[in-house]
Amino acid sequence: MVDRNTNLTRALLGNWRVVFGGGVFLALIVMALAAPLLSPTDPLEQDLMLELLPPAWQVGAEPGHPLGTDGLGRDVLSRLIYGTRVALAVALVAGVLTATLGTALGLLAGFFGGAVDSVISRLVDIWTSFPPVLLSIFLVALLGTGLHSVIIAIVVIDWTRFCRVVRAETMQQRRMEYVDSAVTIGLGRIQILIKEVLPNVLPLVLVLLSLEMGIAIIIEAILSFVGLSLSSDTPTWGGMIAEGRQMIHQAWWMMTFPLGLIIISVLGMNTMGDGLRAVLDPVLRR
């Protein structure tokens, strides 16, 4: 077991995609947890005398505002750092809940088949017929703005992604010899599903989870952009882009920096997912 874990660790650290994506993910965690220490000022502090200050490398910049200020004199870097808390909270909570729901239904459909599979598969077909972005906007508008509404909307629209993939993988695992051996020694179907099939499906779920976190960040940014996430005072990357769009010609930095941070975050999550798949997928390893 120790040798196996050591080999897995070496394989993960030897894959540049995992290292790059994991580094981005770790940086986001540090930014979120250490926001009060890393932020130059209070992200909500307004000073109209300092409005639309450019970044430090441009003429007219002021000390203490390395990435400039917005139209209300609020520090852009501080709002970016605190916005990481919202993005990461949504990515982790919504990603885990989506993975849990989709994986559970996918396991049931793939292992038991028959009527259970038919019901869940029809539900997936119906759910995927709705445009995801429009459905998320409708759900948040129905539930009301707030972080909990954003998380619920992401879980409701994205569980089908896990369900389909896990169902297909579970159907393959069900035909493996280790399942027949478990039946022979008298294990019940639920025991086989949890103790035997789930551990073999879990690496695939981890890959999907890393990809889902990137999707969750994008969805939260879209909802923030249209004003359906948190209040306008709370720093969010999508909200900063919405504010910056109105002043793109006077203050390009207001929109550029949060947009760049979203791109880097999503790229890191997707790259980490590709790396995990290359390391954990036995077919790709061969």
Q: Which residue has the higher pLDDT, 90 or 175?
A: 90
pLDDT at 64 over 90: no
pLDDT at 137 over 70: yes
pLDDT at 20 over 80: yes
pLDDT at 282: 54
Return all residues near 5 (Cβ < 8 A) that are at least 6 apart: none
User: What is the average pLDDT score of the chain?
Assistant: 85
What's the pLDDT tens digit per position in 143-161? Answer: 777 788 888 888 988 889 8
Q: Which range among 21-25, 135-139, 259-263 shows the weakest confidence by mean pLDDT? A: 135-139
pTM of the model: 0.87
What's the pLDDT tens digit per position in 107-130? Answer: 999 888 889 989 999 998 888 887
pLDDT at 279: 79
Confidence tier at 286 by pLDDT (50, 70, 90): very low
